[in-house]
Structure 1
Amino acid sequence: MSRSKRKTPFFGFTTATSEKLMKRKWNKRFRRVAKALMLVDKEIPVKKQAVSDIWEGGKDGKFYWKAHTKKDMRK
């Protein structure tokens, strides 16, 4: 994919490359809470945000950058 490029100039706030480890942690916590709630016959949370905080991750969201160049748009 030598010619692939970003379609829109959205970038992460920090230099973290991935949130893979945090996503694993959040999913593990979600499954653990869901399993515990099933055992006591309570309602299971529908979203991961019910048991985790997205602001704990390495990237604190994304932003739109108007002054981007062709070099910034490469993947």
Structure 2
Amino acid sequence: MSKSRRKNKIRGITTAKSEKESKKMANRRLRKRVNQKINKGEEQLPQLREVSDVWDFAKDGKIYDPNMKGKDMRK
């Protein structure tokens, strides 16, 4: 994969490389709440957006950066 390159000049806003831990915690929280509702016998289950807020994740979204050079385009 030494030749893999980004195709778009889009990058994360902060210096965090990944949101993996944030996504894991959000999905754990969702599964816990879903299991609690199922055990209570409720039929209305929560959605992921109701349980977590994407603004709390490590990366604060993405941005288009027209000034990205060749080195920045490497994965």
Identity between Structure 1 and Structure 2 (%) = 42
Partner of 1:59: 59
Query: So what's the TM-score if we normalise by structure 2?
Result: 0.89
How far apart, CA to CA, are the structure 2 residues paired with 1:41 and 1:15? 43
**Other-structure match for 2:13:** 13
The aligned amino acid for 1:44 is: L
| 1:32 aligned partner | 32
The residue identity in structure 2 corresponding to 1:2 is S
Query: What secondary structure is seen at the aligned counterpart in 2 of 1:35?
Result: helix
Q: CA offset at residue 57 of structure 1?
A: 0.9
Q: Any gaps of 5 or more consecutive residues in structure 2?
A: none
RMSD: 1.1
| Matches of 1:2 and 1:21, distance apart in 2 | 26
Are 1:44 and 2:45 matched, yes or no? yes
SS of match in other structure, 1:6: coil
State which drifts further: 15-24 or 53-62: 15-24
- 1:30 Cα shift? 0.1
Q: Structure 1: which 5+ residue stretches go unaligned?
A: none
